[in-house]
Amino acid sequence: MSGQTSIKGRIWYVSGTDGSLIRDIDTDMIFHNAHLAITDLDQMGKHTFGNLDGWKDFPSKAQKGDIVVVGENFGAGSSRQQAVDCFRALGIAALVGESFGAIYKRNAINSGFPLVTCPGIGKTGLKSGDIIILDVITGAICREDSRDVLITAEPFSRVQLDIIAAGHLFAYGRTLQNA
C-alpha cells in the first residue's frame, strides 16, 4: 500500500444465514488453535476461517486484493498474530469492520495490515462480490460503479499510514531512528 491513498477491491461480506454481518468472530474462528504451530506465512492462508461455519471454503475462493467486510468485535479473544497473518498470506487488501477487538486491531496495525473501522458498514446494502473503493485519508467508501460515497469510515491516522508505508512497526521505528 506504500504511497497510495485508496484501496480498491472485491468484497467478502462475512454474514450468517440471515444475511447480517456475523458479530463476535474470535481469533479461534479466524485461525484455529490446532494450526498455531505453523510459522510459515505462506501456509497460514489456507486455514483462514477454518473454524467459522459457512466460511470454511473462503481460502479457496479469496483472491489477492479482495477486501473482507466483518461485523462488530471482530478478532475478539487471544492475541494470536496468525489471525492477522492468515489474511496477509491470502493477499487480502484490507479488513473493514463495524469494530475490532483491541488486541487484534493493534496486531494488524503493527504488522502493517490495513484495518478499517466503519460503524454502520452492515447497513449499507453491500454484498459479497461488490467492488468498493476506500479512501484511507478521508475514510470515504464508495461502490466502484457509482463513485458516490456510501459511508465514511474512520480515516487512518498519520502513524497508521506511516507504519503501513514502512511495512510494519519495526520498520517504521527504524525510520524514526534515522530522522
pTM of the model: 0.94
- Give residue limits of the domains in the chain: 8-132
Nearest CA to 67 out of 32, 114, 106, 33 is that of 114
Please list the ranges in the chain whose pLDDT falls under 50. Answer: none
- pLDDT of res. 3: 57
pLDDT digits (tens, 9 = 90+) for 86-100: 999 999 999 999 999
What is the per-residue pLDDT for 78? Answer: 83
Planar angle of CA 15, 94, 36, nearest 5 degrees? 80
Give pLDDT, residue 98: 98
* Structure confidence at residue 179 (pLDDT): 61
Indicate the fold that domain 8-132 takes in CATH. Aconitase; domain 4 (3.20.19)
The pLDDT, as a whole number, for residue 146 is 87
User: What is the structure's pLDDT at 104?
Assistant: 96
For the residues of 43-64, what is the DSSP string, one character each? HHGGGBTTTSTT-TTHHHH--T
Cell numbers at 150, concatenated? 456510501
3-state SS class at 167: coil
120 SS3 class: coil
**Over the stretch 123-143, which tens digit does the pLDDT of each residue have?**
999 999 999 999 999 999 999
